[in-house]
Amino acid sequence: MQVAVFDSHRYDQAALTRANRRFDHCLQFFEPRLNLSTAPLAHGFEVVCPFVNCRLDAATLGVLNKGGTRMVALRAAGFNGIDLPAARQLGMVVARVPAYSPHAVAEHAFALLLSLVRKTHRAYNRVRDANFSLDGLVGFDLHGKTFGLVGAGRIGRVAAKIAVGFGCRVLICDPQLSAEDARILCSEKVDFSNLLSRADIISLHLPLTSDTQHLFDSQAFSQCKSNALLVNTSRGGLIHTSALIDALKSKRLGGVALDVYELEEGVFFENLSESGIADDHLARLMTFPNVLITSHQGFLTEEALDNIAETTLENIRAFAAGDAVVNAIA
C-alpha cells in the first residue's frame, strides 16, 4: 500500500522502517502535521498515517478522499482529532493503536511525580551551576500517601500497581471498574468528589471526550487538598488551563506535572528555543517552581514505538487484504 506518514520524526521513521521489513508497504514520510493545508501532499496515497495532534476535520477528510485516500491509519490511541462521522460518510476506514505499551506511559507518570516530589529537576539545574545547597529541596515520601487514579484502563491499571508498590493507598474513579478488579488492584473504588477530597496525588488516565473535556475546572480544583499533586499523561484538554493557573496562584494545589497540554499543537514536538513561546498560558505555567512539564513523551520508549509501528502496519495490511481491521473505529 502507498502510505503517507505525517508528523513524522526520526524515531517514527526508524520504528516504522524496521517494522515494515515484514509488511513491505511503500512509506513516504512527511514532517508537517496532517490538516487542511497539508492534505494535498497525500494526493495519490491510499492510506494516510497521522499522529495525535493532526487535525482531520470534515474538510480535510474531503480533500483526502478526493485525492484517493481510503484509509486513515492513526498511530496513536486517541482519536479526538478526527471527525469520525465525516469519515464514515465518505466510506473511509479509520483505525488506531488502542494499546502499545501501557508501562511506558504509566512509568513516565511516576518519573514526573518523583521529580516533582523530590525536586530532582531543580537539584539537577543547581548542581550544573555548582550550587550544592539543599535549601528548598525538601520533598516527601510516597509511602503511606493516598494515590487517586481517574481512569482505570490499561495504563491506569499499571499505574495502580506501581502506586501499590510504593506503599500508597489507591483510590480509583472509573465507572467501568468492577468490585473484583478493584480488589485485584488493591484499591478502593470511589466517586470523583470522594477522590478529589481524599487524594494526596491525582493521576489522570482517561480519554478526552465531550464528557471529560475540562474535567478539572475551578470547581474540581476547589475540592482538592491544598497540597495535592496533579499528574496528567493522558490528554491536555482534561484540564482547564486558566483554572489550573488560578489554582496554582491561590495555592490550592501543591504542584502539577504535565506531559500533555490543552493547546500543545504547534508547540510540543517543536524546537522553539530561538523563536520563543507565544502561548501566554504555557509560558505562565513554566514560571511556577512547582510545575514540571515534558512535551508529550510518555509513549517514547523503544518498546512502545515498536508496538505502535507493528500495530499500525498490521492495520494497513488487513485493510489491503480485505480482512477485518480489528482496530477500526470507523
Q: Tell me, yes or no, whether 193 and 69 share the same domain.
A: no
Number of structural domains the chain divides into: 2
Q: Tell me, yes or no, whether 107 and 139 share the same domain.
A: yes
Other CB atoms within a 10 A radius of the CB of residue 93 amount to: 19
Q: Give me the CATH number covering residue 148.
A: 3.40.50.720
Choose, from 262, 264, 310, 314, the residue flagged as catalytic: 264
Q: Tell me, yes or no, whether 156 and 27 share the same domain.
A: no
What average pLDDT does range 274-300 have in this prediction? 95
Q: Tell me, yes or no, whether 281 and 173 share the same domain.
A: yes
Q: Tell me, yes or no, whether 118 and 261 share the same domain.
A: yes
Would you say 8 and 31 are in contact if contact means Cβ atoms under 8 Å apart? Answer: yes
Q: For residue range 62-110, what is the model confidence (pLDDT) as tens digits? A: 999 999 999 999 999 889 899 999 999 999 999 999 988 899 999 999 9
* CA–CA dist 159, 146 (Å, integer): 13
- pLDDT at 42 > cutoff 90: yes
Q: Look up 310 and say whether it is catalytic.
A: no
**Predicted pLDDT at 131:** 97
- pLDDT at 12 > cutoff 90: yes
1 — pLDDT class (breaks 50, 70, 90): very high
- pLDDT at 143 > cutoff 90: yes
Q: Look up 235 and say whether it is catalytic.
A: yes
Q: Tell me, yes or no, whether 62 and 96 share the same domain.
A: yes
Q: For residue range 103-135, what is the model confidence (pLDDT) as tens digits? A: 999 999 999 999 999 999 999 999 999 999 999
Name the pairing type of β-strands 93-95 and 146-150: unpaired
Domain contains 326: no
Beta-strand runs (E) in 81-194: 93-95, 146-150, 169-173, 187-189
Choose, from 157, 296, 310, 314, the residue flagged as catalytic: 296
Cell of 12: 517514527
Task: Strand 93-95: give its sheet, edge to edge.
Answer: 26-29, 2-5, 47-49, 71-73, 93-95
**Predicted pLDDT at 77:** 86
Q: Tell me, yes or no, whether 56 and 157 share the same domain.
A: no
Q: What count of Cα atoms within 13 Å lies in the side-chain half-sphere of residue 273?
A: 1
Choose, from 75, 235, 240, 252, the residue flagged as catalytic: 235
Q: Tell me, yes or no, whether 73 and 181 share the same domain.
A: no
Name the helix (H) or strand (E) containing 291.
strand 291-293
Would you say 156 and 172 are in contact if contact means Cβ atoms under 8 Å apart? Answer: yes
Domain contains 327: no
